[in-house]
Amino acid sequence: MAYAALLRGRSGGNGHHHHRADAGKRRETATGLVTFADSAGNALLTEASKKLTPATVEGVATSTVATGWKSPADEALFGLGQHQDGVINRKGSMLVMQQANTEIQIPVVVSNKGYGVLWDNPSKTTFAGNEAGNTQYSFSSEAGELVDYYYFYGPTIDRVIAGYRTATGAAPLFPKWAYGLFQSKDHYASLGRPARRRPRLSEQ
């Protein structure tokens, strides 16, 4: 399994708490904002803002939670689950993340700059990839006690995904015998086509 750096950025009303992994570097500024860097010290991801705002949700006192990150013009952001809007690169777009039929929400973005972010908040969340003239992106959630997210350093996409698997747990594959045959009849123009395919299925 490929090695990946896993760092968690957390901050709340009682101060800023940061849990370090084995690779990658971070530094806090006087404002409490965090920069994530590669092993050579080059900045990959820098917080632009983060805040907790007191709020009441369904009669319960809580806080809205938000964090924004700086994003260069040539950055591309992929992920956020399965959606019907046809958007591949989420940079420059907005998405309200709430579970619905055919809308599968996974609050993870992977950057072509070699890192990924998992936003760890189960409440209704908005991803905005067009903040500050498209120079920032953000996650904001309607309820939470603190800013909480995971940062995965690559620099390859495979290593970013390895970091995500480390954080969420590896999903094992079923044994081959459990898969069986998945065969669709929707796109055969004649009976001759599946008949010709049958010997190949037997071989497989």
- Answer whether residue 171 shows pLDDT above 80: yes
Let me know if residue 173 belongs to a domain: no
CA atoms within 13 A on the CB side of 27: 9
Q: Which two tokens stand for residue 89?
A: 């690169």
Let me know if residue 178 belongs to a domain: no
Q: How far apart are CA 10 and CA 99, in angstroms?
A: 25
CATH number at residue 37: 2.60.40.1760
In the chain, pLDDT over 90 holds for what percent of residues?
58
pLDDT tens figures, 173-182: 888 888 776 6
Q: How far apart are CA 47 and CA 61, in angstroms?
A: 27
- Stated as kind and residue range, the H or E segment containing 107 is strand 104-111
pLDDT tens figures, 56-79: 999 999 999 999 999 999 999 999
pLDDT value at residue 92: 95
CB 91 within 8 A of CB 79: no
Let me know if residue 39 belongs to a domain: yes
- How many domains does the structure of the chain reveal? 1
Let me know if residue 95 belongs to a domain: yes
Let me know if residue 15 belongs to a domain: yes
Let me know if residue 116 belongs to a domain: yes
Q: How far apart are CA 184 and CA 194, in angstroms?
A: 10
More confident position, 150 or 23 = 150
Q: How far apart are CA 204 and CA 200, in angstroms?
A: 6
28: domain range?
A: 5-168
Compute the mean pLDDT over every residue in the chain, rounded to the nearest whole number.
84
Q: How far apart are CA 49 and CA 91, in angstroms?
A: 18
CB 80 within 8 A of CB 97: yes
Q: How far apart are CA 147 and CA 124, in angstroms?
A: 14
Let me know if residue 59 belongs to a domain: yes
**What's 177's DSSP letter?**
G
pLDDT value at residue 204: 56
In Å, what is the CA distance from 124 to each residue of 2, 92, 143?
A: 33, 20, 8
User: Which candidate, 70, 154, 144, places its Cα nearest to that of 112?
Assistant: 154
Let me know if residue 108 belongs to a domain: yes
- Answer whether residue 27 shows pLDDT above 70: no
pLDDT value at residue 26: 66
Tokens 């309200």 label which residue?
96
- Stated as kind and residue range, the H or E segment containing 49 is strand 43-57
**Which residues are paired to 7 by β-bridges?**
151
Q: Exposed, middle or buried: residue 179 (CB in 10 Å: 0-12, 13-18, 19+)?
A: exposed
Q: Supply the pTM of this predicted model.
A: 0.76
